[in-house]
Chain A
Amino acid sequence: MEGFLPNPWWEIWFALSLPVVAYGVYRMNNLIKEQRDTLPLLAVAGAFIFVLSSLKLPSVTGSCSHPTGTGFGAIIFGPGITSVISIIVLLYQALLLAHGGITTLGANVFSMGIAGPFVAYLAYKTLRGIAGFNIAVFAAATLGDLATYVTTSIQLALAFPAPVGGIMRSFLGFSCIFAITQVPLALIEGLVTMLLLRYLLALKPDVFSAFHISDKSKLAEA
């Protein structure tokens, strides 16, 4: 969607994303200095975004979209650090695939790197105690993926209000394209995220304890 956000919207989204990314860089520096043994997990979080956002999947609306993969990083490292990792893949796709864009990078970092991970992080923290680990991770990744595309719909609706019905009407239109298409993809993302997290947790529980992530079910020792 290169060039699809007019002035002043592309600047606004850059400005809103910048402080969060700066905070993320600060958090990431601390992590690298103080908890070097968690670096492989940071790499997995980035790699997971690489894999999932490369998979353009068909959906029930008859069009294709891709999952984000940011829920995994958000649950472990929080939204700040995840926003920094997401920039790598957004740049890869903008520069090599003409997908996303440089002028829309601020908006895309906000939707995929900040809004989605923030919702995923909150959902995980809220559900962890109530619903158990598997459900909390699944729901967090699913809701985070959906939140990214709801945010994209809001961003486009703000820039392109409908001539009749304004921003709300326009938002509903873009939601039908993005958010509804995303529902089955978000469910798949939730399932795969849950499986990967459970798998790594069974292999290396100690590295997760730094993030207060543990699986207390007796079957964790798989």
Chain B
Amino acid sequence: MSELKKLSLIVALLIAIIMLLTAFVPGMIGLTPEWGGADAVAANKIGEMSDYKPWFSPLWEPPSGEIETLLFSLQAAIGAGIIGYIAGLYTGRKEKNRDQP
């Protein structure tokens, strides 16, 4: 097995362990996880600390959670597409060089 494959397996395994710990640690240390956004938690904290009111609102908000999910997925898809395209481009060039020494 190539070193890169080994490295990929190790990375996948470590990420799986981190996600498993994430699922169980909050309960073990007595938290009741809500899995909300950290920035919403921070906004609440600011509300508790002071009577601050945001002075500007987003110009446009996704009309629903579904549409928000759509736009987040689109963001990931655009990024993954570009990475995949360029990794493929490099792979193709590498193989071409190998064929024509």
Binding site for B on A (CB under 8 A): 1-4, 6, 40-41, 43-44, 46-65, 89, 92-99, 101-103, 134, 156, 160, 162-163, 170, 173-174, 177-178, 181, 184, 187-188, 191-192, 194-196, 198-200, 202-204, 217, 219, 222
The contact of A222 among B2, B36, B56, B60, by CB within 8 Å, is: B2
Establish whether residues B89 and A195, one from each chain, have CB atoms under 8 Å apart when the complex forms.
no
Establish whether residues A98 and B22, one from each chain, have CB atoms under 8 Å apart when the complex forms.
no
Establish whether residues B4 and A4, one from each chain, have CB atoms under 8 Å apart when the complex forms.
no
Name the distance in Å between B99's Cβ and chain A's nearest Cβ: 16
Per-residue interface assignment for chain B, residues 22 to 50, with 1 indicating a CB less than 8 Å from any chain A CB and 0 otherwise = 11011000011111111111110110011
Chain A contacts of B38 at CB under 8 A? 59, 61, 63-65, 177-178, 181
For the complex, would chain B's binding face be called helix, strand, loop or mixed by DSSP majority? Answer: helix
Name the distance in Å between B50's Cβ and chain A's nearest Cβ: 6
A96 to B18 alpha-carbon distance, docked (Å): 30
A–B pairs, 16, beta carbons within 8 Å: A1-B39, A43-B82, A46-B82, A51-B79, A61-B31, A62-B26, A62-B35, A63-B35, A64-B35, A64-B37, A97-B71, A97-B75, A170-B49, A192-B15, A195-B11, A200-B87
Q: Which residue of A lies closest to B33 (CB)?
A: A62
Name the distance in Å between A148's Cβ and chain B's nearest Cβ: 12
Binding site for A on B (CB under 8 A): 2-5, 7-8, 11, 14-15, 18-19, 21-23, 25-26, 31-43, 45-46, 49-50, 52, 54-62, 68, 71-73, 75-76, 78-83, 86-87, 89-91, 93-94
A191 to B8 alpha-carbon distance, docked (Å): 9
Establish whether residues A184 and B18, one from each chain, have CB atoms under 8 Å apart when the complex forms.
yes
Q: Which residue of B lies closest to A42 (CB)?
A: B86
Chain B contacts of A64 at CB under 8 A? 35-38
Chain A contacts of B90 at CB under 8 A? 40, 200, 203-204
The contact of A204 among B42, B56, B58, B94, by CB within 8 Å, is: B94
